[in-house]
Amino acid sequence: MFGGIVGCFFLPSKGRVQEVWFQGGRKLKAMNIYVGNLAYRTNEDDLRQQFEQYGTVSRVDIISDRETGRSKGFGFVEMPNSDEANAAIQALDGTSVGERTLKVNEARERVPRGPGGGFSGGRSNRDRY
């Protein structure tokens, strides 16, 4: 029996590609981890190396400004094994990297935003009279 972590991709009915990880024949629950207060010069390879000390890393995203391309100082790391992810969170939260203290925790679900783009001037969209 293969004991390592194995990833595979499939297309669910919604038409999106999704990544699923298995270890020892059982599906692993991946964990998305928020990493804040990153030095602006930190790149995805640097962040991946930090987390790979604790286990398999399936994805790393450092968020950058759309207009300037400069890092916003935070990112996300996805680890397929929640036990390894928790170990990484415990070990890295509060550590100093490049003169900055990292904030590392499980990422919260993104809250869907309503339609936007307009300026209502502080008024609701109800009829005026």
Average pLDDT for the chain: 82
What integer pLDDT is reported at residue 99 of this predicted model? Answer: 87
Which sequence spans correspond to the domains of the chain? Answer: 28-106
User: Residue 114's pLDDT band (boundaries 50, 70, 90)?
Assistant: confident
pLDDT in tens, 62-100: 999 999 999 999 999 999 999 999 999 999 999 998 889
**Strands laid side by side in the 71-79 sheet:** 59-64, 71-79, 31-36, 103-106
Higher pLDDT, 59 or 122: 59
CATH architecture of 28-106: 2-Layer Sandwich (3.30)
Asked if residues 33 and 76 have their Cβ atoms less than 8 Å apart, the reply is yes
pTM: 0.70
Percent helix, strand and coil across the chain, each to the nearest 5: 15, 35, 50
Structure confidence at residue 109 as a pLDDT band (50, 70, 90): confident
What confidence score (pLDDT) does residue 30 get? 85
Distance of CA 107 to the CA centre of its chain: 6
